[in-house]
A and B are shown apart, each in its own frame.
Chain A
Amino acid sequence: MKQIKRRGFIKNTIYSGLGASLIPSYLMAQGQAEMGTLDIKKPASGKAKKIIVAGAGISGLCCAYELMKKGHEVTVLEASGRLGGAVLSVHDGLADGLYADFGAENFTKPGYKNYWKYIEEFKLPVLPYHHREDRLTRIDGVWHTEKMQKDAREKKVQEMGGFNKNELKFLQSNPVGNLQLLYLEPYFEKFTDEYRPFGIGYDHLENIQVSQIYKKAGASKAAMSLLGGDQTSALYSIWQAYIMHKRGYDNPFELFRLKGGNQVLTNELGKRLGTKVKLGCQILEIEHNDSGVNVTYRELGEVKKISADYLACCLRTTALKKILFTPALPPQKQFIIDNIKYDQTTRIVFQARSKFWLKDNISINLSFDHPALAHIWQVADEVDTDRVCLMAKAPGGTNPLRTLEAFRELYPGNKSNIDIEQTLVKDWSKDTFVHGCERHGFSGLGELSKFWPHTMSAHGRIHFGGAHTDNRSWGMEAATNSANRVATEIDTA
């Protein structure tokens, strides 16, 4: 085993209110962590491969890091001038050390197995994230507490005749949010690989509504209404429920974020890769054959070429659409590039002078029914200042000043208490290189087989990573999962 000496670094780790059973002790203690060496293994084949990694988002960085650790020679080409892609933590323009994650915002425990691996390896401090708790939701112009919504749901269930005996028994030990498991869990036993929904006897369910599964199993009218599924493929629903079940999401899970912003992790990956990452290098063309790849890219206006044994393509499809592949990719892969859709979101940050909502004795975790404002919550609450940072979410293309106006108009407390002093914005729908956020699912009838497994399949010497290529679309989990998969594929190829 070869060891490379790297510059040691010192990092303060701060623990804030996490359950001791969840978080490793060194992440909980205040103190210093140091890492001085990086283990480089021998490649699986015994011979180092030359690999180009396309994209320095979290997936590309993570994939390159894994390949480097496996003893391969990597070069990362990134079109933009920064590391991280959709992981974007902003400090500039905010007062008193406040910051905000304009991109990927949280991770969970359980789940995010590969992501947690880097948190532990790099000894990064994590913080609990309570932005979905005690939420007030505005429905048809009226603010609802979580209890009011629960009461309304229960009333509706009673009006529809209530749950049946099996459902009531199930709900004695399970939350109502898991009711679909009563009907879908019997299908789980045939799965042997969470990446293989086809070929296990359920292929025909792709064209059947999942509501038919509930109906056939005797679901009550109330349960049918609650579960819906008239437009959703049964196979897709069963598969996704199985993945969630396997990753431990059946029970309540907690949300976390990285202290200082989630970009801390991508920065750490970038630091370890050093100048192997070339920023400002936009890929224009990819030629590929049985023995390798040639990549044409532009750096400071100059067109250059680079060759390698493999390409780890960790670009989202919006970027792939602009790249010429020679020979052209097969129709199934081209369909993926042409048809995957991404959420389009505008993130708006309000800096306020105080926690003004406390004067009104209400939560600042608010959900709105306004076209220019969907949600708002507090971020960076551990920063020692009276000022606060609020993150608002709106559809892509939203003018942030209209979001502010909507907030002022609909705020459920005394409007004169609002002391917002600044607005910052990131509209992902306008980003040149990271166009959009998480990809959409493949839930429609007959849709899954058009996308899966082709979304994740390699083509010759090109292996495809990126969050959109994983089996669930949760950003940083999907990105790190796919990165590790691609690194293993190329290492063992």
Chain B
Amino acid sequence: MRTIVLLLFVSIGCTWHNLDCKVVKSQNKSISDALPIFSASTIFTKETQEKSTPKVKLHLFQNDHENLSWGSFIRYAIEVSDKEDGDSKYGEILNNKVLLEIEFLPIQDEKAPNKNLGATHKGPYPEGLSLMMGSTCFACHGDKEVLAGPSFSQIAERYGKNLNNIALLGHRILTGSTGQWGSMEMPAHPDLTAEESEKIAAFILTQGSRKNHRILTGLEGTFQVMEKPDGQTQGVYILTASYTSNSSVKGQDRITLQIQ
């Protein structure tokens, strides 16, 4: 239920500043630089909304609800419902804002509990990932899958994660690039800052090198369970579907399955 609170300020200054101080600080600007100055007698209203957590439901379409098989293909769908943003069943949720994270955790000792279980946290996305989801990146790039452009894993394999490569890739994201991975052109992204493009580059290099963790965007699709690694008999797949609302609240659903 949307809650609308109308605030009436007779004396504006400090209350308004308190509401927005986080934004002002992050921009390294003084309050007087960032906000209009109102006289004490000015009267205005502000609308705020109670932030709700998006409801996210991950569905896997397979008969066995507890186990997966090495190398098998799984179809999935993610339902999202948010009081402010809308509902996926009505086409109101953007595909590139819905994420499926797939994390593989090997089980070395069947009797011992897996210490790493739950390694995928419910916290906010890395900033580089959030920026990518708000841009056009995922139209041409996948994490482990090849689309029109190279995958994150291909990029990470070619470029090690260091400051020079982050700066190099950040510059290419910003200004556009062609000829590095075939003849396809990557458009410039002048809507990003240099700092933001470097955050994206850093995320790509980190994520691309994570062999046991992959991300997929979109409300539905398929994925292939990894082939059995040498010397490994069992493992766990942690599947986490998530959506971050326009109010920056993240909702998620998680399914953990044994792989045999």
- Nearest CB of B to A288, in Å: 14
B73 is an interface residue with CB less than 8 A from chain A: yes
Determine if B221 and A322 form an interchain contact, defined as CB atoms under 8 angstroms apart.
yes
Contact A341/B148 with A284-B75, A285-B75, A371-B185 known, Cβ cut-off 8 Å: yes
Say if the beta carbon of A90 comes within 8 Å of chain B. no
Some 25 contacts from A to B, beta carbons below 8 A apart, are: A284-B61, A284-B75, A285-B61, A301-B89, A318-B147, A321-B145, A321-B221, A322-B220, A322-B221, A323-B75, A324-B73, A325-B73, A339-B146, A341-B148, A344-B139, A371-B175, A371-B188, A395-B176, A395-B187, A396-B136, A396-B140, A397-B187, A398-B187, A430-B139, A436-B148
A440 close to chain B: CB less than 8 A? yes
Contact residues, A300-318 vs B (CB, 8 A): 301, 318
Q: What 1/0 mask marks residues of chain A from 14 to 44 whose CB sits below 8 Å from any chain B CB?
A: 0000000000000000000000000000000
Q: Shortest CB–CB separation between residue B194 and chain A, in angstroms?
A: 16
Question: Is B95 among interface residues, defined by CB-CB distance under 8 A?
Answer: yes
Does B231 count as interface, using CB distance less than 8 angstroms?
A: no
Task: Assess whether A188 is interfacial by the CB under 8 Å rule.
Answer: no
A402 interfacial by beta-carbon distance below 8 Å = yes
Residues of A bordering B, CB below 8 Å: 284-285, 301, 318, 321-325, 328, 338-339, 341-344, 371-372, 374, 394-399, 402, 429-430, 432, 435-436, 440
Confirm or deny: B72 has a beta carbon within 8 angstroms of a beta carbon on chain A.
yes
- Given A324-B74, A343-B148, is A402 in contact with B190 using a C-beta cutoff of 8 Å? yes
Q: Give a binary string over B161-191; 1 marks a CB under 8 Å from any A CB, 0 the rest.
A: 0000000000000011000001011111011
Given contacts A324-B73, A341-B146, A396-B139, 9 further A-B contacts (CB under 8 A): A321-B221, A322-B220, A328-B72, A338-B146, A342-B148, A344-B140, A372-B188, A396-B140, A402-B190
- CB-CB under 8 A from A324, the residues of chain B are 61, 73-75, 222
| 0/1 string, B41-78, CB within 8 A of A gives 1 | 00000000000000000000100000000001111000
Query: How far is it, in angstroms, between the C-alpha of A223 and the C-alpha of B192 when the chains are bound?
Result: 43
B187 contact set on A, CB distance < 8 A: 371-372, 394-398
Contact B185 A395 (CB under 8 A): yes
Contacting pair A344 B188 (CB below 8 A): no
Question: Is there contact, CB below 8 Å, between B73 and A395?
Answer: no
Question: Chain B's nearest CB lies how many Å from the CB of A381?
Answer: 28
Q: How long is the Cα–Cα vector from A371 to B175 in the complex, in angstroms?
A: 8
Contact-residue size bin, chain B (C-beta under 8 Å from the other chain):
20 to 34
Q: Is the CB of B148 within 8 A of A396?
A: yes
Closest chain A CB from B146 CB (angstroms): 6
Q: Which residue in chain B gives the minimum CB-CB distance to A339? A: B146
* Complex Cα spacing A394 to B185, Å: 9
Q: Please, which residues of chain A bring their CB within 8 A of the CB of B220?
A: 322
Q: Which residues of B contact A372 (CB under 8 A)?
A: 187-188
Interfacial chain B residues near A342, Cβ < 8 Å: 148
Which residue on chain B has the smallest CB distance to residue A322? B221
Using known A-B contacts A284-B75, A371-B175, A372-B188, determine if residue A322 contacts B139 with beta carbons closer than 8 Å: no
Instruction: Report Cα–Cα, A324/B187, bound state, in Å.
Output: 33
- Complex partner residue of B139 from A321, A397, A402, CB under 8 angstroms: A397
140-162 of chain B: CB within 8 A of chain A: 140, 145-148
Cβ B147 vs Cβ A341 within 8 A: yes
**A59 CA / B74 CA spacing, docked (Å):** 28
Task: Specify which chain B residues have a CB less than 8 angstroms from the CB of A301 in the assembled complex.
Answer: 89
A179 to B205, CA, bound (A): 43
CB distance from B179 to the nearest CB of A (A): 11
Smallest Cβ distance from B144 to chain A, in angstroms?
10
Q: In the complex, how many angstroms separate the beta carbon of B59 from the nearest chain A beta carbon? A: 11
The verdict on A344 contacting B148 (CB below 8 Å), with A430-B139, A440-B182 known, is: yes
Give the distance in Å from the alpha carbon of A432 to the alpha carbon of B217 in the complex.
Answer: 12
B93-123: contact bitstring with A at CB < 8 Å (1 yes, 0 no)? 0010000000000000000000000000000
Distance of B217 from chain A, by nearest CB (Å): 12
Our pick among B176, B182, B191, B222 for the contact of A321 (Cβ within 8 Å) is B222
Which residues of A are found within 8 Å of B72, using beta-carbon distances?
328
CA distance in complex: A435, B138 (Å)? 12
CA distance A440 to B188 in the complex (A): 22
Which B residues are in CB contact (< 8 Å) with A374?
A: 185
Which are the 6 A-B pairs with shortest beta-carbon distances? A397-B136, A371-B176, A324-B75, A429-B139, A395-B185, A395-B187
